[in-house]
Amino acid sequence: MMPHVSGHEVCARLKADARTRPIPVIMVTALNSVEDKVEGLDVGADDFVSKPVNRVELLAKARSLLRAKALHDELARAKVELESKNEELKRLEQLKESLVQMIVHDLKNPLTAIMGNLDLVLQRPGGSAERDHERIARALASSRSMMRMILDMLDVGRMEENRLPLRLESFEIGCVLDECSSEVDGLLRASGVVLQRQGPESLPRARADRSLVGRIVANLLSNAIKHTPTGGTIALGADPEGAHLAVWVRDTGEGIPEEYQPLIFQKFGQLQLKKQGLTTDRGLGLAFCKLAAEAHGGSIVVDSTPGKGSTFRFTIPAEAEAAG
Ligand SMILES: Nc1ncnc2c1ncn2[C@@H]1O[C@H](COP(=O)(O)OP(=O)(O)OP(=O)(O)O)[C@@H](O)[C@H]1O
Ligand SMILES: [Mg+2]
């Protein structure tokens, strides 16, 4: 009994608009006639009370409609959530497919280098021993990089499913850094980059999975070498940091634009960059480093300035000092 619009018209308009349609409508009708109710139902009313309004009845009906409305809302939310999860799954599936193609392609490069170098040694039996040695060293470096790629791939999968048991032991972090440095000797010489070992002489011992830590360092060194032009410098060292040891790799290379920094630790982040034509690598190395540091209760961060260089720093637990 409003001016200009009837109650039925208000209800019809509410129910015609998708935004207001879920609002429950109880019609209060003065006339207890069947026609009136039928008309109300036709325009979408959810329930009726007749005048004079019985307060208890009205409240009970309102409660019941609100319960139904809450269920409806929950269903709508779940639908939106499911749709977005489904989209995400589809996206990951596509990325996975391209990742597999890329991995196969990327494994071909070091293999080609290994075969080429070994072929050269075989085909020139008269060649100098020094050159042969150099070629075999190159083949070995390529084999190492291939092995690193394969291990990273396997471990990223295992760590994501929490299936990689850490083999914790106590060791000198300095020894691991020295070993990793000598493994990249050949690569450094080939690319004309100098590696400096830094950090304090004496450090607390690490308590971590020695081989995983070695592979984090190897990944960071390989990246630093790849992204540092000839004449550049890479520094490698470790510092105590509370109950942890922080290991860092600093280079004077090309750096990483700030907008890409959050992507580089993601398993598929590199693929997204690649789609924009930005890089050429497989991009699992840093995802591996992050998972491996986190599996130790540590973390990894990057500090990078384009044109100046990058510093990667990760933490692992130090051995607790013996009590007493
Ligand atoms: N020291 C660095 N300087 C500049 N850019 C870097 C450096 N380290 C990593 N990046 C960038 O981060 C990306 C991701 O590195 P990540 O190690 O995960 O993958 P990748 O080196 O491309 O491939 P791989 O799986 O063989 O390691 C690199 O492709 C590069 O764009
Ligand atoms: Mg890498």
**Domain limits at 147?**
91-160
Rank 46-50, 61-65, 107-111 by mean pLDDT and report only the highest: 61-65
Cβ of 252 less than 6 Å from ligand 1: no
The answer to whether 152 and 219 are in contact (CB under 8 A) is yes
175 with 142, same domain: the answer is no
pLDDT of residue 254: 93
Name the closest ligand to CA 224: 1
The CATH number of residue 134's host domain is 1.10.287.130
Residue 29 Cβ inside 6 Å of ligand 1? The answer reads no
Question: In this structure, are residues 25 and 11 in contact, taking their beta carbons and an 8 Å threshold?
Answer: yes
Distance from Cα 221 to the centre of ligand 2, integer Å: 8
Query: Alpha-carbon distance 197 to 103, whole Å?
Result: 32
Task: Flag the least confident range among 8-12, 29-33, 120-124, 177-181.
Answer: 29-33
- How far apart, in whole angstroms, are the C-alpha atoms of residue 88 and residue 92? 6
Q: Is residue 226 situated within a structural domain?
A: yes
Ligand 1 atom closest to 145 (CA): 26
Q: Of 160, 185, 206, which residue is a domain's last?
A: 160
Indicate whether 129 belongs to any domain. yes
For residues 63 and 95, membership in a common domain is answered with no
Q: Tell me which ligand sits closest to the C-alpha of residue 291.
A: 1
Residue 324 has a pLDDT of: 42
Atom 12 of ligand 1, nearest CA residue: 264
Regarding whether 247 and 142 lie in a shared domain, the answer is: no
Count of C-beta atoms within a 10 Å radius of residue 237? 18
Q: Do 137 and 253 have their domain in common?
A: no
| 188 and 241 fall within a common domain | yes
Mean pLDDT score across all residues of the chain: 87
Percent of the chain with pLDDT over 90: 54
Minimal-distance CA residue to ligand 1 atom 7: 223
- DSSP code, position 318: B
Answer for the pair 146, 110: CB distance below 8 angstroms, yes or no. yes
238 domain residue, yes or no = yes
Which residues neighbour ligand 2 (ion) by CB within 5 Å? 223, 285
- Whether the pLDDT of residue 323 is over 60: the answer is no
CATH number at residue 59: 3.40.50.2300
pLDDT at 103 over 80: no
Length of the chain in terms of residues written: 324
Question: What are 301's strand-pairing partners?
Answer: 313
The whole-model pTM stands at: 0.66
In a domain, 28, yes or no: yes
- 120 and 153 fall within a common domain: yes
Q: Taking residues 234-248, what's their average pLDDT?
A: 96
Residues pairing with 315 in the sheet = 246
pLDDT tier for residue 76 given thresholds of 50, 70 and 90: very high
| Position 205 pLDDT exceeds 60 | yes
The pLDDT tens digits of the residues spanning 129-158 come to 888 998 999 899 889 888 988 888 788 778
| Count of C-beta atoms within a 10 Å radius of residue 150 | 12
Q: Could you tell me if 286 and 189 lie in one domain?
A: yes
Same domain (yes/no): 127, 229: no
**Tens of pLDDT, residues 162-176:** 777 888 999 999 999
Among the bound ligands, name the one nearest to the CA of residue 279: 1
| Whether residues 32 and 72 fall in one domain | yes
Across 5-27, average pLDDT? 91
Tell me whether residue 260 is in a domain.
yes
Instruction: Choose the final residue of a domain: 81, 108, 143.
Output: 81
**pLDDT at 58 (0 to 100):** 92
**In the numeric block, which tokens belong to residue 306?**
């384009």
Tell me which of 230 and 266 has the higher pLDDT.
230
| Residue 216 and residue 305 share a domain | yes
Is residue 220 scored above 80 in pLDDT? yes
Mapping DSSP to helix (H, G, I), strand (E, B) and coil, where does residue 26 land? Answer: strand
Residues 6+ apart with CB under 8 A from 283: 264, 268, 269, 270, 271, 273, 274
In the numeric block, which tokens belong to residue 237? Answer: 């060292």
The pLDDT value recorded for residue 322 is 60
In-domain check, residue 243 = yes
E-state strands within 101-243: 168-171, 194-197, 206-209, 233-241
- Domain termination residue (choose one: 81, 107, 140): 81
Indicate if 179 and 309 belong to the same structural domain.
yes
Does residue 123 form part of some domain? Answer: yes
Q: How many domains does the chain have?
A: 3
The dihedral built from the CA positions of residue 160, 291, 88 and 74, taken in this order, carries a sign that is positive
pLDDT-above-70 percentage for the chain: 91
In this prediction, residues 256-279 reach a mean pLDDT of: 72
* CATH number of the domain to which 263 belongs: 3.30.565.10
Residue 123 is encoded by which pair of tokens?
């085909």
Say if residue 72 is in the same domain as residue 201: no
Question: Is position 1 within any domain?
Answer: no
Nearest CA-CA partner of 51 in 67, 68, 33, 69: 33
